[in-house]
Structure 1
Amino acid sequence: MPSSWTVLAVITVLTIYFCKNKRYRWFYIFAKTFRRDFRGFIVYVKTAITARLAKIRNETVVSVFESLVKKHPEKAAFLFEDETWTYAELNKFCNKIARYFRNEGYQKGDCIALMLENRPEYVGIWLGLSKIGVVTALINTNLTNDPLVHSVLAGKCKTIIFGSLYANVVKNVAKDLGFKSFYQFHESTTKEDFEVLPEFIDLRSKLSNISGDILSSRERVLADIQDPLLYIYTSGTTGLPKAAVVTSIRYMFAARGMTFVLRLKSNDVLYTPLPLYHSAGGMLGAGQAVLSGITVALRKKFSASNYWKDCAKYNCTVAQYIGEICRYILVAHNNVEPVKHPVRAILGNGLRPQLWKQFTEKFKIKEVYELYGATEGIANMINLDNQVGAVGFIPWHARWAYPVSLVKCNENTGEPLRDENGHCMECGINEPGLLIGKINQKKSIFAFQGYADQKATEKKILHNVFHDGDSYFNSGDVLVNDEYGYFYFRDRTGDTFRWKGENVSTAEVEAVISNLTQLSDTVVFGVEIPNSEGRAGMAAIVDAHNSLDLHLLSNSIKNNLPSYAVPMFIRVMNSVPLTGTFKLKKIELQADGYDINKVNDKIYFYDTKLKGYAELTKDIYEKIGNGTMNL
């Protein structure tokens, strides 16, 4: 037996060890976060096992969906307006799509663009195309002209399916796209409600003559779980939208993982007013119907006043949001009687800490699942225990299993800083840093498929991060995490900002304004607006010869950019500040913002009533600051 002196020595050494740097808090932190970590562990294991089994069995999104059709053909897959789409009905529509486009000559590996409003047929179209191995590029319905052409061609699409709402938008770029055939799918079945343009194929009428019976083995394509399923577009950190590759395994991992997170049961109903061309609505939302047998209620377009009405109408137990949605709902119900709804949990991203308690208390929401992630990213996480403001968590003792890190970076450029060995340096507790995730192509959870453009894919990868030869995904976002393992979003690096729930590429807006004005020196950046989520766009334009026509610029911008990308402020300057290497000082301009007390140049704001730019006066500036004027 050890002597008493040995025991005392061991106790002394352990005491010193745990007292140093307050290591004794490990026990406190472990006790405080045990329930959270255990639940996270269960979700992670279930998701990993599901993904692993799917890979072994080579299950695809299509095969899982068809198994649900056999299991409960008469169960509601989607609820939309006054319609109920059962699994059998949805599958018949999918079969019609698959059979028609196969007969049209489209085959495995081809890509077809889809530009349609939220509705059950949206899912039916891409799901049907996937039965014959065709990849669907989900196009943002806000796009027009050059950005639209770029997105369609970036996916190397061979044609486009679009709703009648966007027929004229597509007609304007038809020559630039150069397709032999264009497919117009009218949203209504009532003929007097629509007109199919003569140069386009009436897809709805064509499908009426196609059988929805089960596809024969000759008609379908044997797909692999690693095959591309969808292209979902993201602004990225530079340039125009990029087509992020979503494989079957990635779609399954995201959708099924959320099923486990939300603890969804067969009698749950999920409500999503989010656009189906984004991963939040298209994967996390609609994916519950496609892969988990959960009924999903859809809305064409978000409406603050109808949000809770829809949830009550469809008896929804879970609802999706983005930060802006929550603010709009609060404003819409500011002086309204308490609303009644069956929602127990909400899922989304961007719910500001200032609104968190106000929203949950006013509308009696028990659970908030705030998440962080990117369509193509591998550093995704979620908040499981209602920690106000947190976008997710990763326990310190589990970083080896889920290798996500924060590294020191240049606060202006977002570029990671390197030590004398050329390696990145990890941040400490409560120190802001660039979020990165380790790439491991052998594991589906950590595999980075990237974009349709290989050059764009390579730009998102960091090499030799902590060791020579390793690779990490660069999220482009600055986060901070505390001693409990919670992560909090701080800012977005690079040349993008988020406004009205959408990512805006500054390079894209700068290019459009420069082309319209023929003025080369144009700088676009995001500025914070009091009581608003994200950052509004602001453009600093050099106009040394007073040739800028704001009225013409306003109309041209609206015709060439989505509404969310139109700059809310214009600063007209005689010259723009440059660095010693002749680079535009965007950070300096962003710091000035639209503060007329700091800026001598004329500043204009976009007046929604006038639908054009008007001079920013002190009175208007104060109204924007105190929240009495909405932009």
Structure 2
Amino acid sequence: MDKDNLAAFTTTTALIGSSILLWKKLFKPGLQLMYYELKEIPKFISLGKRMMHYIDAYNDIIGVFERTLKFHANKTMVVFEGRSYTFADANRISNQMANFFLMQGIKPNDVVALVISNSPEFIWIFLALRKIGAVPSLLNHSLQGKGLIHSIRICDPRMILVDTYKSIQKNVYNVKDEMKGIPIFAVNTEGDRDVIIEEPTWPLLNRLIEDASDEPISPEHRSSITHKDNTCYIYTSGTTGLPKAVNFYVLKSITLMSFVSPIMESSSNTIIYLALPLYHTSGLAFGLLHGLDSGAKIILKRKFTASKFWSDCCEHNVTFVPYIGEFCRYILAQPDYPHQKSHKVKIFCGNGLGRDIWQEFKERYRIPKIIELYGSTEGNCFLINLQNKIGAIGRLSPLMNMLRPNKMYLVKYDLDSAQPIRNENGRCIPVNEGEVGLLIGKCIPETDFQMYKNRKDLDEAKFIRNVFVEGDKYFNSGDLLYMDSDYFAYFSDRIGDTFRWKGENVSTLEVANVFRELDFINDANIYGVKFANYPGRVGMASLLFSSGKHHATDEQLAQMYEKCQKSLPSYAIPHFLRIQSDMNLTGTFKLQKRALQEEGFNPNLVCDPLYYISPTTKSYVPLTKDAYTQICIGKSKL
């Protein structure tokens, strides 16, 4: 090859190489990102228009319900334990209840506490209270003792409504002396079954409304309601120890109703399988509010039962399923159901579906679409994965952030303080691709309302100021995420004193205070530990005995187990105990958790005595190396 041809060959090769490099490094990623943006932006613009229409047209969720009622009055709205109700039934019964509440003197913005399980009665009461502008306070019906007392008192209710379901009724009965002066009514959610009311002075609401008028409720009763008033109170656990009442504003509920149906591709032909609790944001928003807006039928379950899931879906021709991650994991653990692939479910939507089971779940049950999302009851950060991207909770692309009023960022953080790390100028530092960062969301005046009822101090603890410029304000989600090269975001962990187990946030301080009430315990350090393929963190308590002893007697183990059973919801009870001779403190006298979390409950790493809840004896027993092995290989369940 002569010099001229060699030079030409070299130049051509270099150009080809440069072109390939430019394609790989610049054009292909750019086109790929543009592909995602072109798919998302039109949909979000359309959703934005629909949201603005809802905000202009409705001052409360009842307006949306009444619009749906006009078109679907005789269509089935709810199916529950063999009972079916149309939208007209829901309207009539809720009118009776609303008229009864008016006779009891309930006024706009008065609070009524609901300690009621999933049932049609929950829905009728919810609608009835909103028809007169009153505010339902949605308590977790598994709460007991101090947690229950606190949750009722903090919302200042004019009335308490209690499920006749035995375990719920007993929990309220045990604290009734703390509720003196507040009228309590029992609500039969069990149909035609004979129910026993433990407290004879509690009137049965179902009988009282039989003679109540079912005349429509005048809109005048809620004419003073604005978007800054509450639709309801929803409770969340946090670092302050006891449940907090979150202000669930009308603006938020109307906004949710505006975009859930189109995102979920729902219509009046949609059939929703609702086994999530209605007191929880997911169950309320993606179940009840979703159905009220779209006219969909709701197959309502009192509680989730994995073994009956696919038979229920096939029997009722379910098309839409809201979930939490453990929901899917429990289904996957079941043996095959003969007709599990002949179902009509089109969409699973929720949060917490683990990446490790995502593909298996989708393929085994032939799920056409999984919509994973991220959000919190009180926060302003919301992400949604509309691309079927395995494991992702949404996208945080720079372009979408430019269009989004409440911009979101991932910033560097300090694990111990749960606060962002600042640079030399005092500003927060965005993370790089693939790096775990703390999710923060910008507060805008239009939605910057008080988060917690009567607790501005709690609000302030959730905000970060002067983040990127002087005077700006961001919500600290307390959650750690990371992004890939396409800006898809993935959940990593939670920081602070709250961990997540069985889809619920567990407050370490609340659990610690229960142990500290026992006279033989000097101090308690509660934390969650990662284990195998279990989602979230399983609860563990490191204890310091007041006697100085370094082990627990059988009597003490029994007392701790009994105390937890009486005082805590099941998801908050620690599965493992560790008895320490000394508690390690930080420089600011805080209990250290990180080293304890890393050691977990592995007897090969921990020299201190360990105990666990035995699935056979239902009590705390010593955790031997053999028992630990049985847990690790899955033969002993948590």
Is TM more than 0.5 here? Answer: yes
* Paired residue type of 1:450: M
Q: Which moved more, 1:34-43 or 1:581-590?
A: 34-43
2:9 aligned residue? none
Shift of 1:255: 3.2
Going from structure 1 to structure 2, the CA distance change for 1:581 and 1:476 (only over 3 Å counts) comes to closer
Aligned to 1:10: none
- The residue number in structure 2 matching 1:3 is none
Question: Are 2:154 and 1:154 aligned?
Answer: yes
1:173-227 deviations in Å (ceiling 9; x for gaps)? 1121233310110113426344463121211111111122212356555422331
2:577 maps to 1:570: yes
Structure 2, unmatched stretches of 5+, are: 1-14
- Structure 1: unaligned runs, 5 residues or longer: 1-14
Are 2:190 and 1:188 aligned? yes
Q: 1:437 offset after TM fit, Å?
A: 0.5
Aligned ranges for residues 553-592 of structure 1 at < 5 Å? Answer: 553-592=560-599
- Map Cα deviations across residues 58-106 of structure 1 (whole Å, 9 max, x no partner): 4320111111112221112222222222111111122122111111011
Change (3 A) 1:338 1:312: closer
Aligned position for 1:450: 451
CA distance in 1, matches of 2:221, 2:157: 22
> Could you say which residue in structure 1 is the equivalent of 2:8?
none
Indicate the residue corresponding to 2:45 in structure 1. Answer: 45
8 A Cα contact 2:121 2:187, kept in partner: no
Query: 2:7 aligns to what?
Result: none
Q: Are the structure 2 counterparts of residues 89 and 357 from structure 1 closer, same or farther at C-alpha, using a change threshold of 3 Å?
A: same
Of the three residues 260, 279, 282, the one matched with 1:280 is 282
Aligned equivalents of 1:595 and 1:210: distance in 2?
61
CA distance in 2, matches of 1:372, 1:534: 15
User: What residue identity is the alignment partner of 1:62?
Assistant: I
SS at match of 2:433: coil
Partner of 1:377: 379
- Match 1:413 to one of 401, 412, 417: 417
Indicate which of 351, 355, 361 corresponds to 1:349.
351
Taking a change above 3 Å as real, the CA distance of residues 570 and 139 of structure 1, as seen in their structure-2 partners, is same
Name the residue aligned to 2:432: 428
Is contact 1:285–1:296 with CA below 8 Å preserved after alignment?
yes
Aligned twin of 1:606: 613
**CA separation of 1:426/1:567 partners in 2, compared to 1, >3 Å: closer, same or farther?**
same
**1:57-76 alignment runs, 5 A limit:** 57-76=57-76
- Residues 306-329 of structure 1 show CA distances to partners (whole Å, capped at 9, x for unaligned) of 111111122111112211111111
Mapped contact 1:80–1:297 kept (Cα < 8 A)? yes
Shift of 1:35: 4.5
> Taking structure 2 as the reference length, what is the TM-score of the superposition?
0.92
Instruction: Give the match for residue 548 of structure 2.
Output: 545
> CA–CA distance in 1 between the matches of 2:440 and 2:161?
36
Name the SS for the 2:148 alignment partner: helix
Query: What CA distance in whole angstroms lies between the structure 2 residues aligned with 1:456 and 1:364?
Result: 44
Deviation readout 1:578-614 (Å, 9 max, x if unpaired): 2344332211211211111111111000112211001
Give deviations 1:365-394, integer Å, cap 9, x for gaps.
011101111011111111111111111113
Give how far 1:29 is off: 3.0
Per the alignment, residue 334 of structure 2 pairs with 332
Residues 288 and 296 in structure 1, CA contact (< 8 A), matched pair in contact too: no
Q: 1:562-584, CA deviations, whole angstroms, 9 ceiling, x for partnerless residues?
A: 01111000001111122344332
Structure 2 counterpart SS, 1:305: helix
Out of 467, 471, 479, the residue aligned to residue 473 of structure 2 is: 471
Q: Distance in 1 between matches of 2:23 and 2:514?
A: 55
Counterpart residue identity of residue 598, structure 2? A
| CA deviation profile, 1:212-251 (whole Å, cap 9, x unmatched) | 2212356555422331111111113432111111112201
Which residue of 1 is the match for residue 174 of structure 2? 172
1:510 Cα offset (Å): 0.5
Cα distance in 2 for partners of 1:283, 1:577 equals 43
State, as a whole percentage, how many aligned pairs show the same letter.
35
SS across alignment from 1:251: helix
Which one-letter code corresponds to 2:85 in the other structure? W
**CA-CA distance at 1:302 after TM superposition:** 0.2
CA distance in 2, matches of 1:593, 1:159: 44
SS in 2 for 1:260: helix
Distance in 1 separating the partners of 2:259 and 2:25: 31
1:629 matched to 2:636? The reply is yes
User: Which residue number in structure 2 is paired with residue 597 of structure 1?
Assistant: 604
**Could you tell me how far apart the structure 2 residues matched to 1:308 and 1:337 are?**
8
Secondary structure of 2:59's counterpart equals coil
Q: Name the counterpart of 2:139.
A: 139
Aligned partners of 2:314, 2:392: CA distance in 1, in Å?
Answer: 28
- Judging changes above 3 Å, is the alpha-carbon distance between structure 1 residues 366 and 222 closer, same or farther for their aligned structure 2 residues? same
Q: Which residue in the other structure is 1:9 paired with?
A: none
Q: Which residues of 2 match residues 25-424 of structure 1 at below 5 A?
A: 25=25, 27-165=27-165, 166-190=168-192, 192-195=194-197, 197-217=199-219, 221-333=223-335, 338-402=340-404, 403-424=407-428
- The residue identity in structure 1 corresponding to 2:497 is D
Contact 1:524 1:540 survives alignment (8 Å): yes
Alignment-derived partner of residue 6 in structure 1: none
User: Following the alignment from structure 1 to structure 2, what is the Cα–Cα distance between the partners of residues 26 and 270?
Assistant: 44
Say which SS state the counterpart of residue 257 (structure 2) adopts: helix
- CA RMSD in angstroms, aligned pairs only: 2.2
Provide the residue aligned with 2:5 in structure 1.
none
Query: What is the rounded CA distance, in whole Å, between the counterparts of 1:171 and 1:372 in structure 2?
Result: 37
Deviations 1:248-285 (A, max 9, x none): 22012223322121111221111121111101001122
Q: How does 1:7-22 map to 2 (within 5 A)?
A: none
> Cα distance, 1:410 vs. partner?
0.7
2: CA distance between counterparts of 1:43 and 1:119? Answer: 34
1:5 paired residue number: none
SS in 2 for 1:583: coil
The amino acid of 1:80's aligned partner reads F
Q: Distance in 2 between matches of 1:495 and 1:417?
A: 18
Does the residue aligned with 1:368 lie in a helix, a strand or coil? strand
Please state how far the C-alpha of 1:449 moved relative to its aligned partner: 4.1
Q: TM-score, normalised by structure 1?
A: 0.93
Distance (Å, rounded) in 1 between the aligned partners of 2:78 and 2:46: 26
Choose the corresponding residue for 1:511, options 484, 502, 513: 513
**Structure 1 residues 217 and 53, CA gap change in structure 2 (3 angstroms):** closer
For residue 26 of structure 1, report the CA deviation from its aligned partner: 5.3
Find the counterpart in structure 1 of residue 488 from structure 2: 486
* Greater Cα offset, 237-246 or 429-438: 237-246
Query: Alpha-carbon deviation of 1:343?
Result: 0.5
